[in-house]
Chains A and B, each alone.
Chain A
Amino acid sequence: MLKVGIVGIGTVGRYRANLYSKVNEIKLVGLADKHEDKVLEYTQIFGVKAYSTLEELVAAENPDLIDICLPTHLQKEVAVKAAELGKHVFCQAPMAYSEADANEMIVACQKAGVQLLVSNPLHFSPEYVKVKNLIDRHSIGNVGTVRIIRDRYLDRYEQGKSSGLILQSLIHHIEWLQSIFGNIKRVYAKRLKQKTESIDVAYVSLRFENGLIAHINANVIEGSSKDRIFLEAAGDKGVLSYHSEDAVPIYTSYFENIALRENRPVNDPYLEEIKELMNQVSSYQQDGQVALNALKCGLAVMESLKSNEVITLLDQEARV
């Protein structure tokens, strides 16, 4: 049995608290949130006690792992504190907004001898798992190019939120690509120059050490449409492609005006991910390095967006 404590009870925290209730081997033992006025309310909603600080949560409930559900810029402080208290750390990607902060998290966890896990739902999304399997078993030979388009829709567009979502989309995909194709050599990227009220567009060019050329187009759009994935990999022995808009197993129309319902996902990648937490916590080598590599590349993309320059990652590595 793995005992988990959640820090941060926003949208993400609430969602994840609910996920833990679906896994037998994991027990949510408590929550922490700085909004003291809501602590009682949370206790009622989630059936576990809520505390106003991480320290109180740890002292009272002694969880094995802290799931950090805070905005990116607040993750480091809690991660370091949790590690110092001897607790495994599970956080969202990007792990931080700077390499220095990410390194601090890694060092703190290393020192304390605890695991540092960074979420990436793509490793648990069945379509991405299938694509990786097909590529790994050489179904299309050596892969020359990969093209990914990811649209995320928001009810209400906010410039700040869109930046965060674009970076998160990019880092998830970069890390997933790195897990198949290895290191990235250089990046270049463009982003919509004109600020609009309704759409943010980023075009990213990635060149891998093994020669692969990958394109990621991450969009955040205001609207009610369903998030979209387009993915194509071309190899010297074949091509594979996937378009989420084609993979709709139930199509509906109504005689009256009823809001369309979304198809249920085959499985919730976030749920599948926490089912694996037990194994990941008991394995060695979960030190956040993989996530750091993806973060470095994600930050290089952001840098390129600002500077309009090609960022070479190997050079950067050499400088470190």
Chain B
Amino acid sequence: MKIGMISFAHMHAYSYAHAILKSQDATLAGIADDVKDRGERVADEFQTTWFPDYQDLLQTDIDAVIICSENARHAEMAIAAAKAGKHILCEKPIATNIEDAEAMIQAAKENDVQLMIAFPCRFHAIAQEMKERIDSGEFGQILAINGTNRGSNPGDWFVEREQSGGGAVMDHTVHVVDVMRWFMPGAEVKEVYAEVDTRFHEIPSDDCGLLTFEFDNGVIASLDPSWSRSKSFPVWGDLTVEVVGTKGIARVDLYKQNITLHSDETMKTTWEFWGSDSDQALINSFIKSVKENTPAPVTGEDGLRAMEVALAAYYSSKKLQPVKIIT
């Protein structure tokens, strides 16, 4: 199976490219990037062909593309890929507005290609174990979930609303909401209240927030999606979930498995993670879905539902009122 990559604007592209190289079932057939320096550099690094124009990459015999452009460009590229008959793995969030996301889903459907959204947390071994344990009934019925996905300020285009669709709240809400929806199949967020602000960095976008929300099955939830980890923090960020069920409680920390390193080189203490490689598992899953022509485990609809919650959070923070999501 041949995979092309469109844009290395999002840093996850590097990790995905490495994952393709490590896969036995796929090859990296080319990288399209309209930023010349970056395109040439990464094509050289991963020993593949650079395409200045992604349309040219789409004309080749690749089977699938991975899109890691600025969020606002996802729709244009994904729709072009669908029309060229290429399966798509798109970085999260799916898009920056509902119309774009719906158009992407529609284009994939019409051209009979897969549209998978990159939510690696689902593929983390610890999250997988937790999902199985929830499904087995170990914690009974879920009553409440709270989560965090705190990180460092990614800077660059991430803080430019026109390109990213929003700051920390857009960037991080979708990961945790997706995990929560996955833990409770069929449940959707019905009401969101959010505080959103810029309190950590001098950037044009928001960098912190707090979502207090409820699912249509009655489960209450909260979520901190801030870019609140300082430069001195031992690791880039976290992803934690606490689940309260009718039988018990589980506290999950996806990045707990690490070695503590105090280094004079960096004058910092860091946590060096040794746990599962969720990006590799994500890429393997995408390759498997395309090869075996089975539905991708994370769909465009999943991407849309998660993004809707982030958009509702922004709306709520402006209104200073909880807002309803009608799907």
Give A residues with C-beta under 8 Å from B.
Answer: 126-127, 129-131, 134, 139-141, 237-242, 246-256, 258, 261, 263-264, 266-267
The answer to whether B263 touches A139, judged by C-beta atoms less than 8 angstroms apart, is yes
Complex interface bits, B256-267 against A, C-beta within 8 A gives 1, otherwise 0: 111111111100
**Chain B contacts for A250, CB-based, 8 A:** 126, 129-130, 133, 250-252
A140-B263, A242-B258, A246-B256 are known; give 8 further A-B pairs, CB within 8 A.
A134-B272, A240-B261, A249-B126, A249-B256, A249-B257, A252-B251, A266-B125, A266-B275
**Chain B contacts for A130, CB-based, 8 A:** 258-259, 272-274
B55 part of interface (Cβ distance < 8 Å): no
The answer to whether A238 touches B262, judged by C-beta atoms less than 8 angstroms apart, is yes
In the bound complex, what is the Cα–Cα distance between A127 and B260 (angstroms)? 11
Q: Which residue of B lies closest to A251 (CB)?
A: B251
B248 part of interface (Cβ distance < 8 Å): yes
The answer to whether A241 touches B274, judged by C-beta atoms less than 8 angstroms apart, is no
Given contacts A129-B274, A249-B126, contact A255 B248 (CB under 8 A): yes
Listed by A's residue number, 28 A-B pairs whose Cβ atoms lie within 8 Å are: A127-B257, A129-B274, A130-B274, A134-B259, A134-B261, A139-B261, A139-B265, A140-B263, A237-B263, A238-B263, A240-B261, A241-B259, A242-B259, A247-B256, A249-B252, A249-B254, A249-B256, A250-B126, A250-B129, A251-B252, A252-B138, A253-B248, A254-B249, A261-B133, A263-B126, A266-B125, A266-B275, A267-B276
B102 part of interface (Cβ distance < 8 Å): no
- Name the one of B250, B260, B274 contacting A252, with C-beta atoms under 8 angstroms: B250
The answer to whether A238 touches B265, judged by C-beta atoms less than 8 angstroms apart, is yes
B201 part of interface (Cβ distance < 8 Å): no
The answer to whether B248 touches A240, judged by C-beta atoms less than 8 angstroms apart, is no
Q: Which residue of B lies closest to A250 (CB)?
A: B252
In the bound complex, what is the Cα–Cα distance between A129 and B276 (angstroms)? 13
The answer to whether B260 touches A255, judged by C-beta atoms less than 8 angstroms apart, is no
> How many whole Å from B265's CB to the nearest CB in chain A?
6
- Name the one of B133, B262, B276 contacting A266, with C-beta atoms under 8 angstroms: B276
Residue from the set B253, B259, B275 with the largest chain A CB neighbour count within 10 Å: B259
**Chain B contacts for A252, CB-based, 8 A:** 138-139, 248-251
Number of A-B residue pairs having CB atoms within 8 Å of each other in the complex: 94
The answer to whether B256 touches A238, judged by C-beta atoms less than 8 angstroms apart, is no
In the bound complex, what is the Cα–Cα distance between A266 and B264 (angstroms)? 30
**Chain A contacts for B274, CB-based, 8 A:** 126-127, 129-130, 266
The answer to whether B250 touches A242, judged by C-beta atoms less than 8 angstroms apart, is no
B22 part of interface (Cβ distance < 8 Å): no
In the bound complex, what is the Cα–Cα distance between A246 and B274 (angstroms)? 13
**Chain B contacts for A255, CB-based, 8 A:** 246-248
> How many whole Å from A8's CB to the nearest CB in chain B?
31
> How many whole Å from B284's CB to the nearest CB in chain A?
15
> How many whole Å from B262's CB to the nearest CB in chain A?
4
In the bound complex, what is the Cα–Cα distance between A241 and B272 (angstroms)? 10
The answer to whether B129 touches A264, judged by C-beta atoms less than 8 angstroms apart, is yes
**Chain B contacts for A254, CB-based, 8 A:** 247-249
In the bound complex, what is the Cα–Cα distance between A256 and B138 (angstroms)? 11
**Chain A contacts for B138, CB-based, 8 A:** 252, 261
Given contacts A127-B274, A258-B248, A266-B274, contact A249 B260 (CB under 8 A): no
> How many whole Å from A265's CB to the nearest CB in chain B?
9
- Name the one of A240, A247, A258 contacting B262, with C-beta atoms under 8 angstroms: A240
> How many whole Å from B260's CB to the nearest CB in chain A?
5
The answer to whether A249 touches B275, judged by C-beta atoms less than 8 angstroms apart, is yes
**Chain A contacts for B264, CB-based, 8 A:** 141, 237-238
> How many whole Å from B190's CB to the nearest CB in chain A?
27
**Chain A contacts for B250, CB-based, 8 A:** 250-252
In the bound complex, what is the Cα–Cα distance between A1 and B139 (angstroms)? 43
Given contacts A126-B274, A250-B129, A253-B248, contact A140 B257 (CB under 8 A): no
**Chain B contacts for A240, CB-based, 8 A:** 259-262, 272
**Chain B contacts for A247, CB-based, 8 A:** 256-258
The answer to whether A242 touches B260, judged by C-beta atoms less than 8 angstroms apart, is yes
**Chain A contacts for B252, CB-based, 8 A:** 249-251
> How many whole Å from B274's CB to the nearest CB in chain A?
4
In the bound complex, what is the Cα–Cα distance between A276 and B14 (angstroms)? 27
The answer to whether B249 touches A263, judged by C-beta atoms less than 8 angstroms apart, is no
The answer to whether A263 touches B129, judged by C-beta atoms less than 8 angstroms apart, is yes
Residue from the set B133, B272, B274 with the largest chain A CB neighbour count within 10 Å: B274
In the bound complex, what is the Cα–Cα distance between A19 and B247 (angstroms)? 34
Q: Which residue of B lies closest to A141 (CB)?
A: B264
- Name the one of A127, A237, A256 contacting B259, with C-beta atoms under 8 angstroms: A127
In the bound complex, what is the Cα–Cα distance between A292 and B223 (angstroms)? 54
User: Which residues in window 231-289 of B have CB below 8 A to A?
Assistant: 246-254, 256-265, 272-276
**Chain B contacts for A127, CB-based, 8 A:** 257, 259, 274
In the bound complex, what is the Cα–Cα distance between A141 and B129 (angstroms)? 37
> How many whole Å from B77's CB to the nearest CB in chain A?
35
**Chain A contacts for B257, CB-based, 8 A:** 126-127, 247, 249, 266
In the bound complex, what is the Cα–Cα distance between A222 and B247 (angstroms)? 30
**Chain A contacts for B256, CB-based, 8 A:** 246-249
> How many whole Å from B244's CB to the nearest CB in chain A?
10
> How many whole Å from B255's CB to the nearest CB in chain A?
8
**Chain B contacts for A251, CB-based, 8 A:** 250-252
Q: Which residue of A lies closest to B124 (CB)?
A: A249
Residue from the set A131, A238, A241 with the largest chain B CB neighbour count within 10 Å: A238
In the bound complex, what is the Cα–Cα distance between A111 and B138 (angstroms)? 56
**Chain B contacts for A258, CB-based, 8 A:** 247-248
The answer to whether A239 touches B129, judged by C-beta atoms less than 8 angstroms apart, is no
Q: Which residue of A lies closest to B264 (CB)?
A: A237
- Name the one of B253, B262, B265 contacting A249, with C-beta atoms under 8 angstroms: B253
> How many whole Å from B20's CB to the nearest CB in chain A?
21
